[in-house]
Amino acid sequence: MDYERSLDYKNPIPNSQKNPVAFLLIGLILVITGCGGVETSGNGRLDAIKARGSLTCGVDGKLPGFSYQDNAGKYAGIDVDVCRALAAALFNNPNKVEYRDLTSSERFAALASGEVDVLSRNTTRTLSRDAKGGNGLEFAPTIFFDGQGVMVPIASGITNLKGLAGKTICVENGTTTELNLADRFRELGVAYTPLKYQSGDQTFGAYLQGRCAAVTSDRSRLAAVKTSFPNPANHIILGDVLSKEPLGPVTVNNDSGISDALRWVIFATMQAEESGINSKNLKEKLAFAKANPNQADLRRFLGVEGDLGSQLGLAVDFVPRVIASVGNYGEIYDRNVGQGSRLKLERGLNRSYKDGGLIYSPPFR
Amino acid sequence: MIKILATPLIQVPWWRNNRKVGWLLQAAFGLFLLIAIALLLANLERNLARAGMRLTLGWMSQPAGFDIAETLLPYKASDSYGRALLAGLINTLRVVISGLILATGLGVVVGAASFSANPLLRGITRIYVELVRNIPLLLQLVFWYFAVFLSLPPADQALHLPGLQLAKSGIYLFGARLINGELEGGLRLSLELAALLTGLVIYSAAFIAEVVRGGIASVPKGQWEAAESLGLQPIQILRLVVLPQALRVIVPGLNSQYISLAKNSSLAVAIGYPDLYAVAETTLNQTGRGIEVFLLLLLIYLVLNLLISAAMNAINRLVRLQER
């Protein structure tokens, strides 16, 4: 610092400012050569989040049940609860999250460039998105098992995919939906016209205006958006399921600090449901675990003994923090998309494996 | 005296020789630039290698797997990414070329009308130009598409105009007929293309009208009066006397308007028309080949605009004042 100050004293105008072009060029080179190599390995991103004191989360922002702003302007939804859970694990405060609304075509670039730490935007897990040679993403556990569906106006009298022959179908640009649509109709040998828009607002807006005979997206999403239509009862989601859509949050490749933390925060909500721990009985369960040294599984899970949390770079008691702020998986589901919400979606595939569903957490040990 | 004259010319040291110093500075700057570019490329290469990616165009021959709403080039989902991008490019060219022609026509008419003796006509041209020029194009496109064209009635209640039928499923020229609740036959223009063309043409024509107005205003008043005194009609004056002289001022101005139109056509993505940029966006999302796709896009738009510029420069050479 002293050296700099003495320089300032002798020469109040730095040399570089005398030649703006050279200054800019050198700056440009420094910036470009400097970037890219910072957060590629180890705990880079997780440490950066801790230092910053808040988590940046990319969400849809306009999808009821998954991520949207309620009347008070607060974000809510399953995707949002993932971010809140991670913030609770990191900072013991689920509100230390900054949200960024992203369209489906923007989302991967926003994640890759580091604009968001976690992308929690109902993203379908596929091989090419996971692979290094493809999009190069790191998928957290699936939080919602979905399938692609098609919605039509009841008045159209269309009851199945064949009924859409020669019709126009609205779809969002840059989604797996777009590809599944092409695949299924090619199999059926049915001709159709896909009309692609950049955002969900445009896609569903054009459908409501009657530009297309049908609109296609994940079935949960169709159900969610339908609730915001002027006359939800005039539209029906066809029985045909076009694809598997396992939706989950995503982080960048080669940064296991953040991806492991996210993965186990999600598993914690699933394990909590399996162990019968929810936000209401958490205190009793904690007291029970502390009082009973023979409850080894429960004690490890709740951080009463062992160091599972700190192995992840989180607090030892990250599980109780998460459950206290967002509840277990069943509570999250019911509150946002299940019977406690306007969407009223069945649990279906999203039941615990004990009830015949696909929700399963590896052991906490 | 003799001694002074015989003194050889003083040897100027090289660092005070303007020509030499100039060359040296140029060479140093050139070298600096080369090193900078090499550094940038090496850095790109290194970071890509670290991310496990290599710049390649191999993905272009992979099947694209997505459909495109409308193409002039025959295209199906099983075709390659390369062909999908080509279909998108041809869709872009379709808009750009027809947009250039229509916008020029409208712009010249409006520009000429602003010199009309009729104050109502002059007033309308002013209002049109000021209104359109000062509202963002994206807003106008979204307005034309969502507020105007999507408000058309469904096919079985299509608006019938002479030789033209307007419906939600498209704009039909030359007598389409209603078959099973769908309009068929004739020449169909999709609503997306129609809205894009309408928005682009109306927007660009306002700027072109101003260029034309400037060109016409540059012709001295005496030319109008001389033509009038010869007994020519207003239209004849414009066509035979004023426009040929105004063109030398108009053509260079048109060049940049045409380039703007070509670039603005990429806003098609906002209203669902599958132009080059829209197809590239899907391609980018499916392949994850961001750098390659964007380099390709940059190159294509650059070449397209350089071609437009070259064509306009050639026209400019034809119309400019022949000086001897």
A55 pairs with which residues across the strands? Answer: A97
Question: What contacts B322, CB < 8 A, 6 or more positions away?
Answer: none
Residue A5: is it exposed, middle or buried by C-beta count within 10 angstroms (0-12/13-18/19+)? Answer: exposed
Residues A96/A87, Cβ–Cβ less than 8 Å: yes
Nearest to B281 among A32, A173, A202 (CB): A173
Over residues B210-219, the mean pLDDT reads: 93
Residue A33: is it exposed, middle or buried by C-beta count within 10 angstroms (0-12/13-18/19+)? Answer: middle
Tell me if chain A has a CB within 8 Å of the CB of B169. yes
Composition of chain A by helix, strand, coil, percent to 5: 45, 20, 35
DSSP letters spanning B228-279: HHTT--HHHIIIIIIHHHHHHHHHHHHHHHHHHHHHHGGGGGGGT---HHHH
The phi and psi torsions of A361 (rounded to 5 degrees) equal -110, 135
Give the pLDDT of residue B5.
57
Each residue of B19-31: pLDDT tens digit? 888 899 999 999 9
Contacts of B146 in chain A (CB under 8 A): 202, 205-206, 209
Taking an 8 Å cut-off on Cβ atoms, the answer to whether B40 and A33 are in contact is yes
Taking an 8 Å cut-off on Cβ atoms, the answer to whether B69 and A209 are in contact is no
Provide the CATH topology of domain B81-118+192-319. Answer: MetI-like fold (1.10.3720)
| Most distant CA pair in chain B, distance | 112
For an interface test with A, the pick among B40, B47, B66 (most A C-beta atoms closer than 10 Å) comes out as B66
Q: Pick out chain A residues at pLDDT < 70.
A: 1-43
Nearest to A182 among B47, B65, B151 (CB): B65
Give the pLDDT of residue A18.
47
**pLDDT-based confidence at residue B8 (cuts at 50, 70, 90):** low
Domain ranges for chain B: 81-118+192-319
Alpha helices in chain A (DSSP H): 2-10, 15-18, 20-34, 44-52, 78-91, 107-112, 127-130, 176-188, 200-208, 219-226, 256-274, 282-291, 296-301, 308-311, 318-326, 329-336
Contacts of B169 in chain A (CB under 8 A): 168
Residue B83 in this model has a pLDDT that exceeds 90: yes
Give the pLDDT of residue B95.
95
Using DSSP bridges, classify how beta strands B164-167 and B159-161 pair: parallel, antiparallel or unpaired: antiparallel
**Length reported for chain B:** 324
Contacts of A128 in chain B (CB under 8 A): 286, 288
> Distance between CA A204 and CA A202 in Å, rounded?
6
Taking an 8 Å cut-off on Cβ atoms, the answer to whether A132 and B51 are in contact is yes
**pLDDT-based confidence at residue B10 (cuts at 50, 70, 90):** confident
Give the pLDDT of residue A50.
94
Give the pLDDT of residue B161.
79
| Most distant CA pair in chain A, distance | 84
Give the pLDDT of residue B291.
81
Contacts of A198 in chain B (CB under 8 A): 269-270, 281
Give the pLDDT of residue B173.
79
> ipTM exceeding 0.90?
no
Give the pLDDT of residue B9.
66
Tell me if chain A has a CB within 8 Å of the CB of B66. yes
Taking an 8 Å cut-off on Cβ atoms, the answer to whether A178 and B192 are in contact is no
For an interface test with A, the pick among B286, B292, B297 (most A C-beta atoms closer than 10 Å) comes out as B286
Residue B183 in this model has a pLDDT that exceeds 80: no
For residue B305, what are its two tokens? 């605009």
% pLDDT > 70, chain B? 92
Give the pLDDT of residue A23.
53
- Work out the minimum CA distance from A84 to partner chain B, whole angstroms: 28
Residue B7 in this model has a pLDDT that exceeds 90: no
Give the pLDDT of residue A322.
96
> Distance between CA B310 and CA A138 in Å, rounded?
48
* Cα B64-B67-B68 angle, rounded to 5 deg: 115
Chain A residue with CA closest to B286: the answer is A174
The phi and psi torsions of A168 (rounded to 5 degrees) equal -100, 135
- What domains can be seen in chain A, in order of their start residue? 52-144+247-351 (3.40.190.10), 147-245 (3.40.190.10)
Each residue of B237-292: pLDDT tens digit? 988 999 888 988 999 999 999 999 999 999 998 898 999 999 998 888 888 787 88
Residues A207/A232, Cβ–Cβ less than 8 Å: no
Alpha helices in chain B (DSSP H): 2-6, 18-50, 81-113, 119-133, 137-142, 191-217, 221-229, 234-236, 243-264, 276-287, 290-319
Taking an 8 Å cut-off on Cβ atoms, the answer to whether B281 and A128 are in contact is no
Which has more confidence, A259 or B172? Answer: A259
- Work out the minimum CA distance from B78 to partner chain A, whole angstroms: 9
B positions 94-153 inside 8 Å of A (CB)? 146, 150-151
**Ramachandran class of B99: left when φ > 0, alpha when ψ lies in -120 to 50, beta otherwise:** alpha
Taking an 8 Å cut-off on Cβ atoms, the answer to whether B66 and A166 are in contact is no
Taking an 8 Å cut-off on Cβ atoms, the answer to whether B285 and A32 are in contact is no
B positions 189-208 inside 8 Å of A (CB)? 191-192
Residue A110: is it exposed, middle or buried by C-beta count within 10 angstroms (0-12/13-18/19+)? Answer: middle
% pLDDT > 90, chain B? 54
Give the pLDDT of residue A9.
46
